[in-house]
A and B are shown apart, each in its own frame.
Chain A
Amino acid sequence: MAQAHAAAADKYYIPHSSPWPIIGSASLFVLMFGVIAYLNEWLPLWVMLPGFALLIFMFVGWFSTVIGESQKGMYNLSVDRSFRMGMIWFIFSEVMFFAAFFGALFYARSLAVPWLGGEGTKIFTHALNWPSFENAWPTNGPANVGPRADGSFEIIPAFGLPAINTLILLTSGVTVTIAHHALRAGHRVMLNTFLFLTVALGFLFVYLQGVEYHHAYTELGLKLSTGIYGSTFFMLTGFHGFHVTLGAIMLLVIWFRTMRGHMTPERHFAFEATAWYWHFVDVVWLGLFIFVYWV
């Protein structure tokens, strides 16, 4: 029973009351209500702005608090471990979110479209509704759903911009690893340089995706509404692009922090968590490149 009274720094830090969670949930509510009001055509697009602004305010406030506590040394190794586990399982939940959309892609390609083409147990859908439809991929379905009058569309070849984007993301994975090694070795200049390179590559990727989307929308007849191909293509690459944008912003924040001397060779959870996140978007991209663009 004689347990030495632990020193404050050894204790697991339990924050005492914080306004940020309630601000966060309220801002989510305002944002969601804004999106609903826009989708139901009750109010124009600007109705999303207040929720968005509140959400950014919450993130800035919440993370400032946590960074401040971290800089004061209030987090011991056990708190650090909690953060790590939390981040890992958060990334796993993101993986499962993408799994739903990959699942839709695989289901459509290997089951739904072949069935519509007359294979397997669903032959009557083909025979009665669309006898002339043949199983093929890419497809916008038996009704040729899409923006062009003749229902045709073109796709983006894998070995053009997407291959360049693959190289960019893979390179950024290398640069962030070099930055991590530099951080652990205490080479701050190299850390800042390679972290900046990673951020730049991240935003370059997002920019090139934008160029690709513009090309698809204006010239290829490939839109979100171009049947199942357009649906899976834009939802997968779109959510991925959104995550890359988030990851690049996170890296940017970490870069600002390393420039101000935050992160030590031993303790740099924020850096590592962001790097994990970055590798996650990288791996998702490889899946996209192979299954959406290439095969």
Chain B
Amino acid sequence: MATTQAHTAADHDHHDHKPHGIGRWLYATNHKDIGTMYLVFACIMFFVGGTMALIIRAELFQPGLQFVDPAFFNSMTTMHALVMIFGAVMPAWTGLANWMIPMQVGAPDMALPRLNNFSFWILPFAFTLLLATLFVPGGAPAGGWTMYPPLVLQTGDAFPFLIFAIHLMGASSILGAINVVVTVMNMRAPGVGLLNMPLFVWTWLITAYLLIATMPVLAGAVTMLLTDHFFGTTFFAASGGGDPVMFQHIFWFFGHPEVYILILPAFGIISEIIPAFSRKPLFGYGAMVYASASIAFLSFIVWAHHMFTVGMPLAGQLFFMLSTMLIAIPTGVKVFNWTATMWRGSLTFEAPMLFALSFLFLFTIGGFSGLMLAIVPADFQYQDSYFVVAHFHYVLVPGAVFAIMAAVYFWLPKWTGNMYNTALAKWHFWLSTIGVNILFFPQHFLGLAGMPRRIPDYATQFTDWNMVSSVGAFIFGFSQLMFPYIIWKCVKGGEKIGNRAWEGARGLEWELPSPAPYHSWEEAPSRELIARGAQH
């Protein structure tokens, strides 16, 4: 497998003075410790949000009301979304960024270590506020994660909890994003040029810009909700000259770039894994970078495709339809390049590659249904139906979540120094991929047949596919329990690996010993190492 870099190992062993006890985590400044906390937090939230999803699917197994009352059902859909987006996927990306970016750019740590810990520790407090709403009078927020007024203004005592939880999550994301930008722009080792960085670093850099530009806008939008509710402003009330649709514009100005915040780092991950297991350099590195940047730019000018049916001028509908369709071009470039990378490659199918391939096919399905939704007259039919639910779950579950799992299976040996149980990981992959398709594919049919989303009951003709979907949900949900188990066993022990866990893996992180030393590159990597690590 790998040639051991004896000198680097020796250099770094001297510096491995880890702080002990709880203080190591509470007062952490180390990028790996903070990354671990982010990942553990994301994993916990993944199961919290997943439990909510299973409550939803249990209720929808049959028509009629079985397990929960409608208000609680609506709370579950709202909370599931908020927990998964802000609690699971975004922190998982930040955790991976923390672990990998300093190692990949040849830096000793993140640029602003104390700020890094601040952005992490805000999150558990934010989610304490959010999850506490399950127990306050009036119940948890139930107006949907998009918080449209006037409905959301009817939320009970949970309302200010929701608003301030969003504020805290936003602050955490902004500070985390600033740290990523500064680390990438200022901490690269001499010789690691901008067009020399791994794509995960590139896509995260672009993601960070999206976060800094849009999270404050979300903060502004929810602040207006707060003042409309408590202080008599009329931003979203027509009686005072405001407009409830204005909230949707401001929200989706944040919300659409947010979609790419969730998926761009996934593009980076896939761009690392497919070349590694194809034993070929990535096809079209430059095109990948420019495609990511184009997607990020376009994400700012497509927001109103989420709200075609609220009524807008024809010119607006046309503009947002066409700009949305434009996104298919850079995304198509990406899918083409991943496929071309595999062309005549020497492929092997370890767990990370399996998840990456699953991503490639299933994310593309989500992309195609997205194109269908972009067409204004068609969207009038699909709006608020299960087709939309199927679309965004295809891009987010076998898209973002599978990419996170691929990344963990790719880098876990580097983090722990041990190989995990690869057979079990493959079982996890097959159960996940089969489960996720049973879960979400029938929802396309349900949506096209007219089943509305966010409803605890449905007409009996939707029963069959709902039953199939719920069975898939439970297969998918319970098979995820394998994930923390595999990780835990790997942390505890396993077959030792060399510096390079995978034969075809390239990049500076694979030049460090495994497990990676506590401080990554206290001495900047040499030009030879950088050249050998270069992926393209």
Check A1 for interface membership: any CB of B closer than 8 A: yes
Interface size grouping (class) on chain B: 35 or more
A3: chain B residues at CB < 8 Å are 523-524, 526
A81, B186: Cβ atoms under 8 Å?
yes
Taken together as a complex, chains A and B put the C-alpha atoms of A15 and B171 apart, in Å, by 22
Return the chain A residue nearest B24 by Cβ.
Answer: A17
Residues from chain B with a CB closer than 8 A to the CB of A130 are: 238
A99-122: which residues lie under 8 A (CB-CB) from chain B?
99-101, 103-104, 107-108, 111-113, 115-116, 120-122
184-238 of chain A: CB within 8 A of chain B: 223-225, 227-232, 234-235
Complex contact B167–A108 (CB within 8 A)? no
| 9-residue interface stretch from B140-148, B245-253, B284-292, B453-461 | B245-253
Query: A92 at the A/B interface (Cβ < 8 Å)?
Result: yes
B4 within 8 A of A: no
Check: A85 CB closer than 8 A to any chain B CB.
yes
Residues A112 and B242 in contact, CB atoms below 8 Å apart: yes
Q: What does the 1/0 interface line of B215-236 toward A look like (CB < 8 Å)?
A: 1110111011001001111110
B489: CB under 8 A from chain A? Answer: no
Known: A93-B216, A227-B240. A104 touches B114 (CB 8 A): no
Q: Are A228 and B242 in contact (CB under 8 A)?
A: yes
Known contacts: A15-B114, A104-B224, A230-B233. The answer to whether A89 contacts B239 by CB under 8 A is no
Most buried by A among B29, B238, B311, B519: B238
User: Are A229's CB and B241's CB within 8 A?
Assistant: yes
**Does B297 touch A at the CB level, under 8 Å?**
no
Q: Is A12 touching B108 in the complex (CB atoms < 8 A)?
A: yes
Tell me, in angstroms, the Cα distance from A101 to B118 when the chains sit together: 27
Task: Check B168–A32 contact: CB distance below 8 A.
Answer: yes
B129: interface (CB < 8 Å): yes
Q: Contact partner of A21 among B121, B187, B241, CB < 8 A?
A: B121
Q: Which of B186, B216, B224 interacts with A235 by CB under 8 Å? A: B224
B226 (CB) vs chain A CBs: closest residue: A39
Roughly how many angstroms separate A6 CA and B125 CA in the complex, as a whole number? 40
Interface string of A35-47 (1 = CB under 8 A from B): 1100110000000
Among A36, A98, A139, A232, the one with the most B-chain Cβ atoms within 10 Å of its Cβ is A36
Q: Closest CB-CB distance, B240 to chain A, in whole Å? A: 4
In the complex, which residue of chain A has the Cβ closest to the Cβ of B28? Answer: A17
Chain A 249-278, CB-CB to B under 8 Å as 1, else 0, gives 000000000000000000000000000000
Report whether B224 and A96 are in contact in the complex, using a CB–CB cutoff of 8 Å. no
B253 is contacted by which of A86, A103, A112 (Cβ under 8 Å)? A103
- Considering the complex, give the chain B residue whose CB is closest to the CB of A96: B216
Asked whether B111 is an interface residue with its Cβ less than 8 Å from the other chain, the reply is yes
Bound-state Cα–Cα, A19 to B19, Å: 13
A17 touches B215 (CB 8 A): no
Among listed A141-149, A155-163, A168-176, A285-293, interface-contacting one: A141-149
Do B241 and A112 touch across chains, with their CB atoms under 8 A apart?
yes
Within 8 A of A (CB), among B320-369: none
Instruction: Please report the C-alpha to C-alpha distance between residue A145 and residue B364 in the assembled complex, in whole angstroms.
Output: 50
Asked whether A17 lies within 8 Å of B29 as measured between CB atoms, the reply is: yes
In the complex where A17-B23, A96-B216, A145-B234 touch, is A40 in contact with B168 (Cβ < 8 A)? no
Known: A1-B7, A85-B182, A104-B235. A120 touches B313 (CB 8 A): yes
Inter-chain contacts of B214 with A (CB < 8 A): 96
Q: Give a binary string over A1-28; 1 marks a CB under 8 Å from any B CB, 0 the rest.
A: 1010110000110111111111011101
Q: Tell me whether B117 and A18 are in contact (CB under 8 A).
A: yes
Whether the Cβ atoms of A231 and B234 lie closer than 8 Å is: yes
Contacts of A125 in B (CB 8 A): 238
Distance of A206 Cα from B235 Cα, bound (Å): 25
Pick the residue among A15, A62, A98, A143 that contacts B29 (CB under 8 A). A15
Residue in B26, B233, B243, B519 whose CB lies within 8 Å of A14: B519
Bound-complex Cα distance A93 to B185 (A): 17
Is there contact, CB below 8 Å, between B241 and A40? no
Which residues of B sit under 8 angstroms from A28, Cβ to Cβ? 122, 125, 168, 171
A82-B212 in contact (CB<8A):
no
Tell me the nearest residue of chain B to A107, going by C-beta: B246
Q: Which of B153-192 contact A (CB under 8 A)?
A: 157, 160-161, 164, 167-168, 171, 174, 177-179, 181-182, 185-187
Question: CA of A287 to CA of B524 in the docked complex: distance in angstroms?
Answer: 45
Check if B528 is an interface residue, CB within 8 A of chain A. Answer: yes
Given contacts A18-B114, A22-B27, A93-B212, contact A36 B161 (CB under 8 A): yes
* B213 interface hit (Cβ, 8 Å): yes
**Complex contacts, B235 vs chain A, CB 8 Å:** 104, 108, 228, 231-232
- Please determine whether A142 and B242 come into contact, CB atoms closer than 8 angstroms: no
Is the pair B243, A112 in contact by a Cβ cutoff of 8 Å?
A: yes
State whether A40 touches B160 (Cβ < 8 A).
yes
Interface centre among B108, B214, B235 (most CB of A within 10 A): B235
Tell me, yes or no, whether A294 is within 8 Å of chain B by CB.
Answer: no
Give chain B residues whose Cβ lies under 8 Å from the Cβ of A103.
Answer: 217, 249-250, 253
Partner of B213, one of A82, A96, A115, A120: A96
Interface residue A90 (Cβ < 8 Å from any Cβ of B): yes
What 7 pairs between A and B have smallest CB-CB spacing? A100-B220, A225-B232, A141-B241, A228-B241, A143-B239, A231-B233, A21-B118
User: Could you pull out 23 A-B pairs where Cβ atoms are within 8 angstroms?
Assistant: A3-B523, A3-B524, A17-B19, A25-B121, A32-B167, A36-B164, A85-B181, A86-B112, A96-B217, A103-B217, A103-B253, A113-B241, A122-B311, A129-B238, A141-B241, A145-B234, A145-B237, A224-B227, A224-B233, A227-B234, A228-B241, A229-B241, A231-B234
By a beta-carbon cutoff of 8 Å, the part of chain B in contact with chain A is 7, 19, 23-24, 26-29, 107-109, 111-115, 117-118, 120-122, 124-125, 128-129, 157, 160-161, 164, 167-168, 171, 174, 177-179, 181-182, 185-187, 212-217, 219-221, 223-224, 227, 230-235, 237-243, 245-246, 249-250, 253, 311-314, 519, 522-524, 526, 528
Give 7 new A-B contacts, CB below 8 A, not counting A22-B117, A82-B111, A115-B243: A21-B115, A29-B129, A39-B230, A86-B179, A121-B312, A145-B232, A231-B224
